[in-house]
Chain A
Amino acid sequence: MSMESREIRSGISALDQALQRIRLGDNVVWQIDDLEDYKFFARPFAAQAIQDGFECVYLRFAEHSPILEATEGLDIIEVDPSPGFDYFSGEVHRIIAQKGLKCFYVFDNLSALVEEWATDELLANFFQVTCPFLFELDTVAYFGLTLGKHADSSVARIQDTTQLLINVYKVKGQRYFHPIKVWERYSSQMFLPHCISDDDMPPVSKSGDAAKVSVLARKNPLGGSPDLLAPWASVYRKLLQYEDEDEEVIRANPEIVSLKEELSHMILGYQPDFSRLASKYFRLRDLLFMRNRIIGSGRIGGKAAGMLLARRILKHDNDPTDFTQVLENHDSFYIGSDVFFTFLINNNLFRLRLELTQGSDITHSEFEDLEERFLEGTFPREIMDQFQRMLEYFGQAPIIVRSSSLLEDSFGNAFAGKYRSEFCINQGDPEQRMHAFLQAVKLVYASALNPDATSYRQKRGLADRDEQMALLVQRVSGMRYKNYFFPSMAGVAFSRNLYVWTDRIDPNKGIIRLVFGLGTRAVDRIGGDYPRMIAVSHPDLRPEVGAKVMKYSQREIDLLDLEKNQLCTRHVSEIIEDRDYPHLHMFVSLFENGYLSDPTSSFLDGNPDDYILTFNNLIRKTNMVDLIGKMVAKLEKAYQHPIDTEFTASFDESGNVRINLLQCRPLGVPGTEGHPFDIPKEIPHEDVLFRSNRIVCGGLVPKIHTIVYIDPVVFAALPMDQKKSLGRIVGKINAHPRFEDCKTIMMGPGRWGTSNIELGVNASYRDINNTSVLVEIAREEAGHMPDVSYGTHFFQDLVEAQIIYLPVYPDDAKTEFNEKFFMESPNILKDILPDDGVPDNLIRIIDIESASGGRLLQVVADPQSQKAVCYLE
């Protein structure tokens, strides 16, 4: 196409002349003092576009008066910026993509977005990500921007991105326009102020006139305006003067309260349940303390916010347990959520992310390539400077970079384990430490796009929700021992106990999964290695007796190897072989001569190979369990919702237990709220497919159409490689449209979601997310143990997705298990996976309706009685 044919008319011929015509692909930013100035240019532009036969769209998102009035040929589309940057950018992209080539746009004044999003960084991000897309589609777009009210760095980014940047201002009642940038066009007078009159727009070429106009137009020609719009800076500045004010005085002053709320929203977000708690518990000085530790700008994300809130709640009241004496201090930093988008946009990753979160699929190997692209990305200088200062602050102390996305850990969406956390052992010279830290940050950023996370978002209807990745940078809890660094104890604690193996245990009193060393082993599901499960109501009870205690205990420890500068796993016996680890006698028991005994002093006898991590002395001789029990109870009371926490613990110099609370989030437990789920009393025996007597989460699932049954016997005989691939096959079945539409029960041998294929099907959440009930066929004498997966990320996914998880014990005398139905009903596997060569004796897919003469299944699970039944309706 010739240059001539790319030129368009702006509706003001003098302007066309001054700018040597606007062209297809141009983005035109009008920096204005007054909205009327913007209207002055935008209205003729739209009218001309319509007259010339172009499609014309007015994107309306601001509160100000309309730039364009409705008229024939003008498409006015409203987009709400209040859900956040991510949502808004996505919507605008969708509109632009839908409108296609050579469409003309007028956007509202972009400065309005800053009022919604708080920071200039996001405004620049939006512009930087939208303009190139418009350019590619040969559109012409007008944007307004209030002059002198935005950070210079952000305006500079806008200027770099746009094709035309034109300042418009009035001096003594006379309107001028002053092109600052006109891409690939030049004339000797183009970049002078132009005086606007009715029929002409001559440049102000005389030096005296130009000086007079310019000096009056720009009070800060070199930048650094003190009068910025973005609340991120202005609200903070205003509140800073009240930092030392008494909290009661602050709460009595409506203006400060309002500013404080605004600051809280900028840092913590707007989620109503959370905001209510934040408003109640956070003091101004808490918020300012947070604000001072944010790198870049934006929010700190759900994980960081949950951690800070929980700590604040615990210290809030004077109750019998003084948590200020129990909680270790924290000195975390937060990488603001804006930094994530700046990173994506600067490294050409934004649109890819948009596509992936809105429905495109990505395989695990494609994701690995994507990770490489993230690792090649760079950060702006000012962020790098802040990173540098933070790393200097931590010195060589190990740190962990944890995802803390906006949706993560909020009410109803735990995103458990979807995003990464990366340890930085922080050894080596400053360059090496910086390199390792940057790698960690980029890997966590990349994890926002991992297939499990995108699937989770889509499944939960969160694909369009604002989701930015803030990061939490925490000091790793622990101490150096030999060449390693790790905490004495770490774990997860729940305010509700979902693992009730005897009716003596009170499910409302919580449970702890405790490990020696880093907590990674407590939150993930690791086959063959077990954390200690401690029921808060009966800490001394455990579901194993005798030698089985040894089998179901922790044998490996995760720790940071300071010499190798990496996270590693070691045998516990190797770490404690010198028997001088502080307080070791609180953690171990000795299994010798066929029985377990607990040390009576710190002088430990016996072979370290015979030490078993039982934590018996810790449980019996310290107040650790009591403290954690009180902690989760207090948090649940404040949240008015069951919660789960991650923590580390240690002994101080006086031998008292100190707790470091790392995370706290609300947890939805199916069946613990709302109506009881009563088990029907008189179901004919022949209609029962199975019963379970040891269930944890309740619910009612009617009208189940399909069973996917993995035969435990055939599974047991499978070669390793076939066992390994079974999770993916299940994933394919799960992805079949039938399972998206109809309710399904999946039944398989041993544990679902385990990484040890010998113990069960190695499915991930994504492989089973369309099922309604997941059944673990458990045979204790076949090496299976009443599962201790409860509390792991996989289990939390199930809980949140309201997938009922039932262990069924076919060998238990009280259990009914209609194996004949599963084995003899017609198998429709070949209809679902016709070409995959999966043996139909391994996976049986049963269409309930045809197998039962038109009936469907129902599952009722009652967590109070710990009973569940699956029967033909």
Chain B
Amino acid sequence: MPAQNAFEVTQKQLDECAEILKLDAGIHEMLRTPMREIHMQLPVRMDDGSIRVYQGYRVQYNHAKGPTKGGVRFHPDKGIETIRAQAALMTWKCALLDLPLGGAGGGVLCNPKEMTRGELERLSRAYVDKLGEVIGPHKDIPAPDVYTDPQIMAWMMDEYCKINQSSEFGVITGKPIAIGGSLGRTDANARGGMSAIREAAKICNLDLSNATVAVQGYGNAGYFAASLAANLFGCKVIAVCDTQGAILNRNGLDAEDVRRHKATEGSVAGFEDGETISSDELLELDVDILIPAALENVITEANADKIRAKIIAELSNGPTTPEADEILYNKGVHLIPDFLCNAGGVTVSYFEMVQNAYMYYWDREDVHERLDKKISTSYQAVLNTSTRFKINMREAAYVVSVLRVVEAMKSRGWV
């Protein structure tokens, strides 16, 4: 059987949710496909004077709850199916957080590794030129994604402002701080995950100040997760890993020391204050909280049964396979699904729009406080749904999202 593409996977997840909800067939059909897709040819003058034409996309999946929002990726291999999937997931994520936003996604088929800075700028501006009329603070708000960064967002925003002869900074989020970016964005995903963990700990009767944590992955998200777990709650982070290996210290690792070691040595492996274990062993450690923060599909049918953590907080996208989900649920492991656990980023993006519209900028603490409130509320909604329908947390998160979108569609008279 050929492998499913990313969009087919999201459709399947929706189908399962629709089955739980016994969703009206017409509504289900409406939710299965994007409401609008734009395919663009983007000519760019290269540094050597030649013209190269790039294929660009923007998918506005569903705008029932408000203007659509989603990332723009510059990647040579991620085609329309991936972008559709991205747009669908953004729809459910925004709804789960109860943000007044729909979901979108976009991208350009290009390889930024083969482009100069000037060429990237011209491509970014071309993308906005072509989208001109269909994006805007009240229509669709792009944001950074794979291989796009605040600089690219700044170029895009500037282009939009030029076209519209206005300073509508809120058209793009993920901008540099100097031109309307929000504070608190860098660690937003990990910080949002912490709020969810705190709520989950209450349910699991876990004293976080005595809790042990293992973090799988030590990139941006993994490092902030380890650091915040220790600093916010007093957790003991006893194991971390990256692609080169894993380290364990049952007395606790200092997140900052490990980060410094990784910065100089290229890996957490070899950290002198920890013993070497395998990455597989890390997943199976007897810890209170396991935080997958790197790759997809690391918890599978093969190892789910050996997981001993009480709480799994999915900071990365798709770390658990559907088969493993079932095993963990039956074992009583409390799983915080990815699109709740790592929704801090999109929430702060939303805050950025709000601040841009408001023309008044919050300090970091304000952002943290509001983020905490959003995630905690959403967690409660998912938990209640899980309990009520006796479904696992991931299914519950879908149910909450879909119901909110459906309600908006119904209110607007679409269904």
Contact = CB atoms under 8 A, between A and B. Distances in A.
Prevailing SS type, chain A contact patch: loop
25 contacts: A501-B114, A504-B114, A528-B264, A528-B265, A540-B118, A541-B113, A541-B116, A545-B112, A546-B147, A547-B219, A555-B263, A593-B176, A593-B177, A593-B181, A593-B185, A594-B144, A594-B150, A594-B185, A594-B220, A595-B176, A717-B278, A758-B245, A759-B244, A759-B266, A783-B244
A543 interface: yes
Nearest to B268: A758
A91 B276 CA distance: 55
A328 to B, nearest CB: 30
B134 interface: no
Contacts of B177: 593
A545 B113 contact: yes
A473 to B, nearest CB: 33
Interface string B242-272: 1111000000000000000001111101100
A501 B111 CA distance: 11
A576 B263 CA distance: 17
Interface residues of A, number: 36
Contacts of B242: 783
B38 interface: no
B117 interface: yes
B15 interface: no
Nearest to A719: B276
B149 interface: yes
Contacts of A620: 117
A569 B111 CA distance: 36
B113 A544 contact: yes
Which applies to chain B's interface (DSSP): helix, strand, loop or mixed? loop
B35 interface: no
A551 interface: yes
A374 to B, nearest CB: 34
A597 interface: yes
B247 to A, nearest CB: 11
Interface in B265-286: 265-267, 269-270, 276, 278
Interface of A: 501-502, 504, 527-529, 538, 540-547, 551, 555-556, 571, 593-597, 620, 716-717, 719-720, 756, 758-759, 781-783, 813
A716 B280 CA distance: 12
B116 A540 contact: yes
Contacts of A596: 149, 151
B99 interface: no
Nearest to B294: A781
Given A595-B176, A758-B245, A758-B269, A542 B113 contact: yes
Given A545-B112, A759-B266, A781 B295 contact: yes
B186 A594 contact: yes
A544 B113 CA distance: 6
Closest 3 CB pairs of A and B: A528-B266, A783-B243, A595-B149
Contacts of A543: 113
B117 A540 contact: yes
Contact of A756 (B115, B186, B265): B265
A621 B266 CA distance: 30
A595 B278 contact: no
B113 A501 contact: yes
Interface in B164-219: 174, 176-177, 181, 185-186, 219
Nearest to B48: A504
A504 B144 CA distance: 26
Contact of B245 (A542, A547, A716): A716
A720 B265 CA distance: 14
Contact of B149 (A529, A571, A594): A594
B118 to A, nearest CB: 7
Contacts of A783: 242-244, 266-267
Contact of A541 (B114, B245, B278): B114
Contact of B111 (A502, A551, A720): A502
Interface in B141-155: 144, 147, 149-151
Nearest to A785: B266
